[in-house]
């Protein structure tokens, strides 16, 4: 890709980050704190120390996968907003298999958990995919609604049939040792990070070097033209949603086996790994390489929140402020690119100016 094309994309990715950090700095100045010192500690200890960087990579692993899950569909102009539900579904039943199915071989046990997690993610993704492909139902509405429905179903299962006996809070049993990913060294990183990296490389190759990758771009730009050139759009929608669901299920499974080890009502966090993946996909401009960088950066913000709280008097909630402002700017940017809001405002202003001149 030429530099002239990369320049605006890079600027559009960096600008929301700079604006969010700028507003965060203003907030810190208003409460009498030094923003430069806070940012130095937050990013320095998350990215430029060995332990901090490995912890950042650990938390970035599932975010890379959810970011890719969203980017694959968004590039084809398919809005899969159900990544959070697919991740929860896959992670939940991967945890159930990890806890209730004793397999002596750790590799086979993990593979079975990942297979179940992927299958759950695909099944959940197929519902809106079929409705979109054959009945032209708005997949954004369906996937958003199903996320909350899935959360409630899993809440019932974790509270009732699969609740851990004797636990003081709602959770499923802890996965068996053979299903766990253990930490490497004195950091939190596990071998799941390498699994996520291998999947990232496979998706990068698929999107940049295969026929399917070009078809994804063609469907996103003009589905009618893509259909006319021989691309079976309906089948490709089903395929892309299945891939997206599989990636989400893997993310949920990996997070279960490497971090949580049991399902709780706060398994995915707030706002959730699936929703974070949407931000990462937008920040990375739906490019695999961009998503990898965005996931590491966003994970550094999350791990840096604890460092700010420990080494400064700045409240760690400032990181939530920065993330929220970043989401706001990225949402505005996305809507402008998708619907041309800025061009419409300019056109309307020109019409009003012409009318006033007459």
Distances (CA, A) of 108 to 105, 111, 254: 5, 5, 15
The CATH architecture one would assign to domain 3-351 is Orthogonal Bundle (1.10)
Mean pLDDT of the chain: 90
Best CA proximity match to 250, nearest among 274, 227, 224, 285: 274
Query: Is residue 64's pLDDT more than 50?
Result: yes
With bands split at pLDDT 50, 70 and 90, how would you rate the model's confidence at 127?
Answer: very high
Q: What sections of the chain are H helices per DSSP?
A: 3-30, 35-47, 50-74, 83-100, 106-135, 139-159, 192-209, 211-221, 223-228, 233-255, 273-283, 288-311, 317-339, 341-357
Domain ranges of the chain: 3-351
Q: Per-residue pLDDT tens for 134-163? A: 888 888 889 999 999 999 999 999 999 999
Distances (CA, A) of 126 to 66, 112, 120: 17, 21, 10
Taking the C-alpha atoms of residue 26 and residue 273, their distance in angstroms, rounded to an integer, is 28
Instruction: Please tell me which residue, 89 or 227, carries the higher pLDDT value.
Output: 89
Least confident of 154-168, 241-255, 336-350: 336-350
Taking the C-alpha atoms of residue 21 and residue 294, their distance in angstroms, rounded to an integer, is 15
Peptide bond into 3 cis (omega under 30): no
Q: Per-residue pLDDT tens for 279-331? A: 999 999 889 999 999 999 999 998 888 888 888 888 888 988 998 899 888 88
pLDDT at 1: 47
Q: Per-residue pLDDT tens for 172-229? A: 999 999 999 999 988 899 999 999 999 999 999 999 999 999 888 888 888 877 888 7
Which percentage of the chain shows pLDDT scores above 70? 96
Mean pLDDT of 94-114: 97
């Amino acid at each position: 890709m030429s530099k002239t094309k990369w320049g605006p994309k890079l600027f559009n990715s960096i600008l929301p980050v700079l604006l969010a950090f700028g507003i965060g700095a203003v907030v810190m100045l208003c409460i009498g704190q030094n923003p430069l010192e806070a940012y130095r500690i937050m990013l320095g200890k998350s990215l430029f120390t060995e332990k901090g960087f490995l912890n950042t990579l650990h938390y970035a692993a599932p975010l890379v996968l959810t970011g890719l899950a969203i980017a694959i569909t968004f590039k084809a102009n398919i809005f899969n907003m159900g990544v959070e539900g697919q991740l929860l579904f896959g992670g939940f039943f991967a945890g159930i298999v990890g806890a209730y199915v004793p397999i002596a071989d750790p590799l086979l046990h993990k593979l079975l958990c990942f297979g179940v997690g992927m299958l759950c993610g695909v099944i959940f993704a197929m519902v809106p995919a079929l409705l979109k492909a054959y009945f032209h139902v708005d997949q954004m509405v369906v996937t958003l609604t199903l996320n909350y429905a899935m959360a409630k179903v899993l809440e019932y299962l974790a509270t009732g049939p699969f609740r851990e006996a004797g636990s003081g809070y709602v959770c499923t049993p802890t996965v068996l040792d053979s299903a766990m990913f253990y930490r490497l060294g004195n950091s939190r990183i596990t071998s799941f990070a390498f699994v996520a990296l291998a999947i990232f490389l496979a998706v990068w190759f698929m999107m940049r070097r295969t026929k399917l990758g070009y078809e994804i771009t063609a469907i996103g730009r003009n589905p009618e033209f893509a259909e006319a050139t021989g691309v079976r759009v309906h089948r490709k929608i089903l395929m892309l949603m299945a891939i997206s669901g599989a990636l989400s299920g893997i993310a949920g499974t990996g997070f279960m086996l490497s971090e949580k080890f049991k399902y709780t009502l706060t398994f995915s966090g707030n706002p959730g790994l699936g929703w974070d993946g949407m931000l990462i996909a937008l920040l990375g401009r739906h490019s695999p390489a961009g998503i990898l960088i965005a996931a590491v950066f966003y994970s550094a913000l999350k791990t840096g929140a604890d460092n700010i709280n420990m080494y400064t008097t700045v409240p760690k909630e400032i990181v939530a402020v920065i993330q929220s402002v970043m989401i706001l700017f990225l949402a505005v940017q996305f809507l402008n690119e998708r619907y041309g809001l800025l061009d419409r405002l300019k056109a309307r202003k020109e019409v009003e100016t012409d009318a006033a001149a007459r």
